[in-house]
Every structure is written in C-alpha cells, then in structure tokens.
Amino acid sequence: MIKHPITIAGLLLAMFAVVGVGLVAVTHQATKDQIAENERMALLNSLNALVPASSIDNDIVNDKTVVSDIDKLGTKETTVYFGRKAESPVAAVFTSIAPDGYSGQIKLLVAVLADGSLGGVRVVAHKETPGLGDKIEVEKGDWIHSFQGKSLKDPKPAKWKVKRDGGIFDQFSGATITPRAIVKAVKNTLLYYDENKKSLFLAKKQAPAKEQMAEAAKTESGK
C-alpha cells in the first residue's frame, strides 16, 4: 500500500493527464472530418458566390492548381480554382492578395471568366479600419460589386484606378488607400490571366491532400 501523500498525488495527476490526453485525442478524431467538411463547404459557398453552381459541372473546390507571380498576384504561391462545364473553361478564381492595404495585406477571391471579364471579387480577410476601410466587405456595402463585369477592355488599363487618381472606381471618404490597393490587385490579376490564359486551364490539377499523401507514399516505397 502506498503511504506517501506526494506519491499518491503524483500518480493521480499522471492518471488525470493520461485520461485528458485520451479525451482530446478521441474528440479530435471524432470531429476532424466534420471540421474539414465545414471548411470545404465554406470555401464552396464563397466560390459559388462568384461562379454560380448552375454555370459549371465540375468539383471547383478540388479542380485547382498553384501558380507563382508575386508581382501580379501579391504572393509567392497563389491557388487558382477552375470552373468548367463539359470540360470547357468557365472561370478561374484566384486567391490574390493586395499587399499594400492601409493596415497590411488584403486577401481576395478574384473570379475571372473565360472571356477575361470579372465574375466578381470578394474580400476574404483584412485588417482595415472599422467604419472606414471595412466598406470593402460585401456585408458592409456595395463597393466590391463594382468590379463585376469589368475587364481590361472596360475600362482600359489606364483607368483601373480610383477616381482621385484619374480612374473610374470610387474611393471611400477618409480611406483612399484601401480601395486603391484592391483596384490595383484586381487589375494585376486580370493582367496575369490575360498573359497566361492559354496555358492556365491546361495546368496540372493539384491533387487533394489525401491523394498527394498516397502518391508520396507510393513513390517512397518504390525507392
């Protein structure tokens, strides 16, 4: 029989730690698939807001590739989701970044239709000033809808600026930097698309994570 209180306390703490770790592991295992599915549905809803589900027949979430052009897309790696119907290109949705927002990076979804016009733009994440710069959010105003249907032909590239800089896009009172950054990022995304559209839809599809892991394991076992 154990008679030392310190030893008993230590054993009890160890037992609770083991039980606690076990509960966390079981909870994680039970919820990870649901969390992954929730994240997938949230992404799908965002993509479908720009590329309606009725206009495509592919799995746009998993039909994707990664491209690199930090000057035009704002980051070293940009995921591009493809919408297709009967294998024909419908839209490419870029996870572009406006690197020069007032309070840092502004993450975007920019949908470019096959003809080079915009299906729409949405702000995914930002740190802009509440009440001023946050008017870029679709929930806070209609400004972000002003991109829909625009292209490098309408307006011409020289007019892809806020009105204060001689362009056609509205700025916000007291917050010009934020819309200026987004207009520039969207224009650059259109430029990237225009320069790469012939090869973009032919890019090798990025396999889902599970398939990538299986392929990696297969390669490793074959060495």
**CA 219 – CA 88 distance, rounded (Å):** 32
- For residues 79 and 67, give the distance between their C-alpha atoms in angstroms, rounded to a whole number: 6
Pairing of strands 104-113, 97-101: antiparallel
> Which residues touch 47 (CB under 8 Å, ≥6 apart)?
60, 61, 81, 83, 93, 109, 111
Mean pLDDT of 90-116: 97
22 against 210, higher pLDDT: 22
Rounded to two decimals, what is the model's pTM? 0.77
Residue pLDDT, tens place only, 111-157: 999 999 999 999 999 999 998 899 999 999 999 999 999 999 999 99
User: Where in the chain are the domains?
Assistant: 1-50, 54-200
Answer positive or negative: Cα dihedral of 181, 183, 189, 191. Answer: negative
Residue with more model confidence, 96 or 205: 96
Q: What is the pLDDT of residues 143-192, one digit of tens each?
A: 999 999 999 999 999 999 999 999 999 999 888 999 999 999 999 999 99
Asked if residue 115 lies in contact with residue 190, where contact means CB atoms within 8 angstroms, the answer is no
Q: Does the structure show a pLDDT above 80 at 3?
A: no
Q: Is 167 left (phi over 0), alpha (psi -120 to 50) or beta?
A: beta
- Model confidence over 196-209: pLDDT tens digits? 998 998 875 554 44
38-84 per-position pLDDT tens digit: 778 889 999 999 999 999 999 999 999 999 999 999 999 999 999 99
Which among 131, 92, 89, 130 is positioned nearest to 109, based on CA atoms? Answer: 92
